[in-house]
Amino acid sequence: MKKVVLAYSGGLDTSVCIPLLREHYGYDEVISVLVDVGQQEADIIRAVERGKRLSDIFKLINAQDEFVSDYIFPLIKANGNYEGYVLGTAIARSLIAKKVVEVAKDENAEAVAHGCTGKGNDQLRFDAVFWAADLDVIAPVRELSLTREEEKKYALEHGISFEAEKRWSIDENIWSRSIGGSELENPAFFPPEEVYQWTVSQDKAPDNADIIKIEFAQGIPVSVDGQSTTTTGVSLINALNKVGGKHGVGRTDMIEDRVLGYKARETYEHPAATILLEAHRDLERLVLTRNELRFKEFVDRTWSELVYQGLVMDPLYDALNAFIERTQERVNGAVYVKLERGLARVVGRESKNSLYSSTDVSFETRQEQGQKGQGQGIVEGFSIYHSFQARKFSEL
């Protein structure tokens, strides 16, 4: 019996893949796998109902805790950001693909499949993990070059019904919500408020700001305002999504460079991600040296590009994580963030590992010559040579 395991979302693309895998590719058993990484409960319920009806075997895997601990927390440590995008969909795809491969191994399936087209990034993210597992990879929508209209027609012919056509294409998990399609594909189109569900507009945000205290231990956020109930990470992120969204924090509307070279207009919501990344970067500036920060900026950018491209199987990814983990040993402390009308601003920070010295930096403190070699007079010698080459150049 030929078996194939499908990464299933409940949407049109993956739903039409189920009969296609039987009719066009000749598989006897289609096993659909839906991975819960924080989608809306209503969407999960609809996808489960449809998946059970269409598939030979259907599996729902709750991976929210694993998503946060093994993917989101490392992302925070790496200040994960690609051209302004917080990598929500990108990093989730690697975990979903991993779970599909695990099911394929357990079920002794010959192949794995996804419903991606040939134009986006997700095909590469799934393929990278799938090919590394030494399984046949099938992408019906891409391989058959199906248009949306062709998919809809095929779905009707096979009794796959969908509610009225949605205006927007939505992808959601606990870390971010992406909105695309329809008029949003026009870079000049102003997104209407209806596209946003997690955040209010700035003009509807409350007049009174909130100041929250976020505590980090080795680069990982462990509490918000001292609430110990956030230890799983999932509840912490959900809480920040709620309070950040109330203040309109975490909207991104950008032109993004896809892996294939296309420029795409992308719209995102990500309150918790905005808050946590802002707080984490600030704490790093307090506890890491200038050289560490400069080098880590390059490491973080490279890490983010690998995640965006779906190359978490690349050995460089593990090597970068090893460096990042070492730097996070001292990223301990608390950051105070003010949430106000679409902004998340750090207004204070503290750490036992702080490299900041108010005595050394203050203009109000007298520092005598020879005091730890830091007297102000000593700086004159440094200053003379600081611009040495520039002065030589000006003399030419």
Nearest to 132 by CA among 104, 159, 160: 104
Handedness of CA 57, 163, 251, 335 (dihedral sign): negative
- Concerning whether 13 is annotated as a catalytic residue, the answer is yes
Candidate list 43, 46, 169, 341, residue with the active-site label:
169
Q: Which residues of 151-165 are buried (b: 16+ CB within 10 A; e: fewer)?
A: bbebbeebebeeeee
Distance CA 388, CA 188 (A): 50
- Concerning whether 225 is annotated as a catalytic residue, the answer is no
Distance CA 168, CA 166 (A): 6
Query: Do 340 and 205 contact (CB within 8 A), yes or no?
Result: yes
Candidate list 9, 32, 50, 122, residue with the active-site label:
122
Candidate list 13, 127, 171, 300, residue with the active-site label:
13
- Concerning whether 253 is annotated as a catalytic residue, the answer is no
- Concerning whether 345 is annotated as a catalytic residue, the answer is no
Which structure tokens are listed for 275? 């808050």
Candidate list 50, 93, 125, 349, residue with the active-site label:
93
3-class secondary structure for the chain?
CCEEEEECCCCHHHHHHHHHHHHCCCCCEEEEEEEECCCCHHHHHHHHHHHHHHCCEEEEEECHHHHHHHHHHHHHHCCCCECCECCHHHHHHHHHHHHHHHHHHHCCCCEEECCCCCCCCHHHHHHHHHHHCCCEEECHHHHCCCCHHHHHHHHHHCCCCCCCCCCCEEEECCCCEEEECHHHHCCCCCCCHHHCCCCCCHHHCCCCCEEEEEEEECCEEEEECCEHHHCCCHHHHHHHHHHHHHCCCCEEEEEEECCCCCEEEEEEECHHHHHHHHHHHHHHHHHCCHHHHHHHHHHHHHHHHHHHHCCCCCHHHHHHHHHHHHHHHHCCEEEEEEEECCEEEEEEEECCCCCCCHHHHCCCCCCCCCHHHCCHHHHHHHHHHHCHHHHHHHCC
Query: Do 104 and 5 contact (CB within 8 A), yes or no?
Result: yes
* Residues catalogued as catalytic: 13, 93, 122, 169
